[in-house]
Amino acid sequence: MNSRTGARSMRATLRLQFRGGMTLDGACALVPQFARMGISHLYASPLCAARPGSTHGYDTIAYDRIDPELGGEAALLRLTDRLHAHGMGLILDIVPNHMAVDAGNAWWLDVLAWGRASAHANWFDIQWHAPDPELHGKVLLPFLDRPVEDAMTAGLLFLRHDKDSGLFFIHHHEHRFPLCPAGYAGLLAKVHAPAPLLVAWTRVAMRAGPCAEVDAALAALRQWAGTDEGTQAMCRLATLHDATNVSGRRQLEELLAAQAWQPAFWREAATRINWRRFFDITGLVGVCVEREEVFEAVHAYVFSLYQRGVVDGLRVDHVDGLDAPAAYCQRLRERLDILGPLRPERARPGGTVYVEKILVAGESLPTAWPVDGTTGYDFMDQVGAVLHDGAGAAVLDRLWATCGPDAQPLDPIVKTARAQLLEHTFCAEFTHLSFLLERVLCGTAAACALHGLHDALCNLLVQFHPYRTYFGDEAMQDHTAGCAALQQAERAACAFLANGQHAVMSDMVRFLEARPEQAPPVAVRYLQLAFEHLTAPLAAKSLEDTAFYRYGRLLSRNEVGSDPQHLALPVAAFHAACAERAASYPHALLATATHDHKRGEDARARLAIISEAAEEWEALVQGWFAHNGAGQGCGPDRIDELMLYQTLVGAWPLLPFGDEAARARFVQRITQWQTKALREAKRHTGWTRPDEAYETACTRFVERLLDPARSTVFLRQLEGFVTRIALAGALNGLAQTLLRLCVPGVPDLYQGCDLWDFSLVDPDNRSAVDFAHRATLLEQATGFASAAATWRTGRVKQDMIRRILSFRQHYPGLFASGNYVPVVIGGADQAHAIAFLRQHDGMSLLVVAPRLPLGLRVDADTLALGHTPDISIELPALSGPWHSLLGDVPPCVHAPFVRGGVPIACLVHDPRIA
């Protein structure tokens, strides 16, 4: 049961978001529906214990159990039994990079309580020797709602004893910070606790760290605290440390100074934090999973589930956040391979490993990672781009340029965002990296130029394009791509530096690209890791979470894993990417929607049609600019207004609003998206310092635009444009789905996306799914042509998925091992189709998908062509009949799009079938 066997068993996955109303038993009830769709593996979001009330599960508090809010392990076993009964398996999303900073995280609490004496002190990426003398040996806790002094004066930092655990905590709203048990003796002496209790805690203080004596002392403390005398003593302790008076403030200050942590105002995180966060989320702390003992603790339970045949494969979240991704993947693969033969005979083939990794243009997965592929963002980019019309770029650029001085090309927008993030969001991380660099450069020829170090480092980070390099990894690997990326960034950065700073830059890059087999000094290794831990979040935050909300040429290309400056991809390049995947990662996941997407797959497919109707769109938008009065009341500006119009076009429902409540829900979705978009852009407002006046003005603008009583002309024009392109958008969505189902790789279906998906960014894309409605449609399945005649319901998309996945189920070898052969298209309308063959063991599958469908002239009600396009395809000579998975076989296979037919073909040729 090695990875190859496990990967070959993967036909199609269905990503299910647990929490937010979805439990393991709830999923259990859906298994028959997923099996009927042709799904081979349920692909679950993280299931381990997470912060109470978590909506996503990425805020893990314990790796050794299934979250009880989901039903615990018993419910997981019920789910997997149901999956196995339907011939299905389970892929589990795991989160080895970070954990929640939460009172339920026992490892984290132990570190706070004991500091460097904790057995877990090195399990989290903490800078115990931070340059800041106030933080030497301490952990900064930037969770206060105001500066420490103000919190004390307001009585918002106070001492409490927890009777259940026996521990003392400092409380601040929902936060609890544990006191070091070594100081309990001194605390209890203040209230004249019984002598035996003081002796017990004095013994603990002598040990100065976690020890066997702690449990007995805690038991005694709990017992005494439960008495009337003890209860009164705890109240006196709280009063003695009441910071609202002078004496209590002094006592509390002394108590806090003795701890292994330092409380701070939450705004200080950006400038002072001394531990690695997940991006800029201070509620998530980086885990040192590269340490063997941490790796074992993080994965022991998952390995147990795998060995028992409960879990069949893994999806590794944010692999670029790890110190050593290659070493991690190698260790993970080795353990799965060892455990594979120990799995029960009844278990499904297992061992598949996918990594969540963003690949920039020209980047490939490192060959040193023994994984089965990515989670599919690269395919999402490729299939999205190939369905855009590159000819519309010039007009869209022209419209974008009219939106003001901030409407720049993408590259300067990203670089500006990077510089701003380094200054305001990742200031602490940049300061730490600078400190490490200064330490490394001391004694080198560049030491005389240290005055320019910070400027050189900032410019290098601004110009560095990929997520990261892997020189800090512990495994030997090919670093050619990393060297090229660093050298390119060096050349670009030097253009902004004085000549005297070039030597600093040269030495900096030389140290950053030192390989582990060259045995660089430990200080260099720490420098490399700090650089790589900064470039990854810097890349993500500057592009996906900033530039995507500042650059509005066409929002269908502003998607995770995509490069918006490239509007379209030639068909030949798409074929080349598919062929490369077939050769290197034939079982990689293929995604077109995820829990992190910026807008739904069918919203993007519809917006892509704008690239075909660019001049019409330009004229329409310019009219809206002139007549909608966006500038009245201080917002939105032209950039935010253009993005709003695109969002309305992409999300506008196919069927009229049923009532005012439905319209109100739509308005709420749009304003929720808009507030998030404005804050992510950080141009007029932001998450940390929101400009309520601007946000309110933008919200009122939306409400006015979408009010039929006040915006009759606008709504008529908007609905008219959506009606004009919605049909083509639906064909684009079907083409996207068809390609995902048939090109090399494993199609991944995001929950609910078997019907049209016009969702917006989270939380909208994580909303509850009406599975009952989908099940009803599935049970009422009819012919493909009939489904196409009711295309607005989305049934045609569901029908296509069901038909093709059913075929994959019966002929898995064709997709797991079949050749991928691009098909040459001829004719005047050749730009309107993409065609290829999948061939294996004498069988051929011909796929012809529509492209740039606005020019295909399709009937608005039936999706049927009103004419026969001039499209012909060149096929090898094959004797015998063809069979269609989607309705009737065209009269001539070499001309698959004919008048009266839906312009989609999925034809099978098997000489063994008469």
Report yes or no: 635 and 694 within 8 Å, Cβ to Cβ: yes
Of 548, 539, 559, the C-alpha closest to 388 is 559
Residue type, 134: E
Residues in CB range of 171: below 8 A, 6 or more apart: 157, 158, 159, 160, 177
Of 32, 3, 11, the C-alpha closest to 811 is 11
pLDDT tens-digit profile of 679-706? Answer: 999 999 999 999 999 999 999 999 999 9
Report yes or no: 503 and 445 within 8 Å, Cβ to Cβ: yes
pTM for this predicted structure: 0.95
Alpha-carbon distance of 454 to 334, in angstroms, equals: 42
Instruction: Read off the pLDDT of each residue in 389-405 and give the average, rounded to a whole number.
Output: 98
Alpha-carbon distance of 875 to 878, in angstroms, equals: 8
Alpha-carbon distance of 383 to 834, in angstroms, equals: 11
Report yes or no: 874 and 846 within 8 Å, Cβ to Cβ: no
pLDDT at res. 444: 59
**What's 181's DSSP letter?**
G
**What's 180's DSSP letter?**
P
pLDDT tens-digit profile of 349-377? Answer: 999 999 999 999 889 999 999 999 999 99
pLDDT at res. 1: 32
pLDDT at 445 over 70: no
- Give CATH for domain 3-97+289-357: 3.20.20.80
pLDDT tens-digit profile of 68-89? Answer: 999 999 999 999 999 999 999 9
| Strand 89-94 versus strand 313-316 pairing type | parallel
pLDDT at res. 781: 80
Radius of gyration of the chain from Cα atoms? 30
pLDDT at 448 over 50: no
* Superfamily of 609-723 according to CATH: Maltooligosyl trehalose synthase; domain 4 (1.10.10.470)
Alpha-carbon distance of 365 to 374, in angstroms, equals: 8
Length of the chain in terms of residues written: 914
Q: In the chain, pLDDT over 90 holds for what percent of residues?
A: 93
Instruction: Read off the pLDDT of each residue in 145-152 and give the average, rounded to a whole number.
Output: 97
pLDDT at res. 2: 35
The answer to whether the bond into 564 is cis (omega within 30° of 0) is no
User: What is the domain partition of the chain in residue ranges?
Assistant: 3-97+289-357, 106-265, 408-551, 609-723, 770-909
State the pLDDT confidence band at 499, using cuts at 50, 70 and 90: confident
Evaluated on CA atoms 150, 154, 156, 159, the torsion sign reads positive
pLDDT at res. 7: 83
Mean of per-residue pLDDT scores for the chain:
95
Instruction: Read off the pLDDT of each residue in 727-747 and give the average, rounded to a whole number.
Output: 98
Alpha helix (H) residue ranges in 609-745: 614-627, 638-651, 660-681, 692-705, 712-742
Angle between helices 480-494 and 453-463 (to 10 degrees): 120
State the pLDDT confidence band at 3, using cuts at 50, 70 and 90: very low
Of 540, 586, 573, 639, the C-alpha closest to 384 is 573
Residue type, 665: R
Give CA torsion, residues 722, 728, 730, 733, to 10 deg: -120
State the pLDDT confidence band at 912, using cuts at 50, 70 and 90: confident
pLDDT at 914 over 80: no
Report yes or no: 815 and 808 within 8 Å, Cβ to Cβ: yes
236's torsion region: left (phi>0), alpha (psi -120 to 50) or beta? alpha
pLDDT tens-digit profile of 213-236? Answer: 999 999 999 999 999 999 999 999
